[in-house]
Amino acid sequence: MRKLAFALLLAALPSRAQTPAQPSPMEHIILVHAHRGGRAMRPENSIPSFKYGISVGADVLELDLAVTKDNVLVVSHSPYLTQPASDDPRMAAALLNERRCDGPPLPPGTTIHSLTLAQLRQYDCGLHPLAAFPHQQAVPHTSIPTFDEVLDLAPQGTFQFNVETKIFPNHPDFTPSPEVFVKMIDDAVARRHLQSRVILQSFDFRTLHAMRALDPSIRLSALFGAARYDGMMGITDPDKSFAHIAKITGADILSPDQSLVTPAEVQSAHALNVQVAPYTVNTPADWKRMADAQVDAIITDDPAGLLAWLRAQTPALHP
């Protein structure tokens, strides 16, 4: 349990509308994905954070999905409502980057899948800004939103949704099966006719294959990180080459940890007509490194900062 939680947290730490044709180098535009809505400024994966991401002009809202005991899709990076206790200093540091929710006391390590939506609604997840993000504002009375509530923001712009399934091969008790999980997502998207604005992403490629079989109109993004975390997350394939990941997933987009990005790897993805959107990139030095590698998009906790940096380049890398 402790190892799993540690891997989940580290995976995101500072961790085809139709897909546009690949631009030429002189026309290179980098899209901005607001990670968890923009947690540098607002409580993560919340309606306030998604409204913030929309307000600053992010191209894509990135979010994570879990499933409640009564089968409601809700937005959460961690599969836990109360994070597991640990005396491991590495995990303790990682836990500081997970949101803290106040409400009725529960044992450490209580999963979202063990609670109903009504139970989750009793928790306020906006009171405690994260120390890693000194500009993050507290927003009291911030509950964990449902996926439906996030999709209801669609009329506020033309932005897209990059939706991650928080599902783990070594913990089937945390979620429904991949097939059931993606059917729930697809049904919610289809009710609003938003298929062209949704990307499904996952570290667990079973959900990508399930969605491709169910609804080929949904774009797919393959998430992958450093190999040293694979065992904790139930991932068995050590090959992190971009061409290999593209071929085994059939994904339209690759989302590697930024540490795996090189110009050669990006070029190998582009040769297969696959885009690259690394995570989680938060500093000008790393934004430059990603831009120099010719990535197509960047997932960042600071969408406003990234947009300003992209527009300041010569030539500008964002309209």
Query: Residue 302: what are its φ and ψ, rounded to 5°?
Result: -120, 70
Per-residue DSSP letter, 279: B
User: How much is the pLDDT for 95?
Assistant: 73
Confidence of residue 12 (pLDDT cuts 50, 70, 90): very low
Segment among 16-20, 50-54, 102-106 with least mean pLDDT? 16-20
* Average pLDDT score, the chain: 91
Q: What percentage of the chain reaches a pLDDT higher than 70?
A: 90
Is residue 24 pLDDT above 90, yes or no?
no
User: How much is the pLDDT for 3?
Assistant: 45
Q: pTM (2 decimals)?
A: 0.91
List the one residue out of 190, 221, 227 whose CA is nearest residue 208. 221
Q: Across residues 194-214, what is the average pLDDT?
A: 98
Q: Across residues 88-108, what is the average pLDDT?
A: 84
Q: Which domains does the chain have, with CATH numbers?
A: 2-15+30-312 (3.20.20.190)
- How far apart are the C-alpha atoms of 303 and 53, rounded to whole Å? 7
pLDDT in tens, 145-170: 999 999 999 999 999 999 999 999 99
Q: List the beta bridge partners of residue 61.
A: 34, 161
Is residue 227 pLDDT above 90, yes or no?
no
pLDDT in tens, 118-134: 999 999 999 999 999 99
Q: Across residues 208-221, what is the average pLDDT?
A: 98
Cβ neighbours of 98 (radius 10 Å) = 19
